[in-house]
Amino acid sequence: MLDTVVLISGGGSNLKALLTAAEQPDSPFRVVAVAADNFCDGLCHAADHGVPSFVVSPKDHSGSRAAWGEALAAGIREYGVNASNGLVVSAGFMRILPPNFIAEFSPRLINTHPALLPNFPGAHAVRDALAAGATETGVTVHVIDEGVDTGPIIAQHAVPVLEGDSEEELHERIKTVERQLLVNVVKDIATGKQPLPPQP
13: contact with ligand GRF by CB under 6 A: yes
Would you give the binding string for ligand GRF spanning residues 141-180, x where CB under 6 A is met? ----------------------------------x--x--
Instruction: Give 75-80 contacts, CB < 8 A, sequence gap 24+.
Output: 75/33, 75/35, 76/5, 76/33, 76/35, 76/105, 78/33, 79/3, 79/5, 79/32, 79/33, 79/52, 80/3, 80/32
Residue nearest to ligand GRF (CB): 92
Q: How far is CA 136 from the centre of its chain?
A: 22
- Which of 107, 114, 138, 151: binder of ligand GRF (CB under 6 A)? 114
Q: Which is nearest to 45 in space by CA: 94, 81, 92?
A: 92
Compute how many residues bind ligand GRF; rule: CB under 6 A. 15
Instruction: Give the C-alpha separation, 91 to 57, whole Å.
Output: 17
Least distance CB 142 / ligand GRF (angstroms)? 11
* Nearest to ligand GRF of 13, 137 (CB atom): 13
Of the candidates 49, 61, 113, 124, the residue annotated as catalytic is: 113
Q: Which run of H or E residues covers position 2? A: strand 2-8
Among the listed residues 14, 53, 106, 137, the single contact to ligand GRF using CB under 6 A: 14
Q: Which residues bind ligand GRF (CB under 6 A)?
A: 8, 10-15, 42, 91-92, 112-114, 175, 178
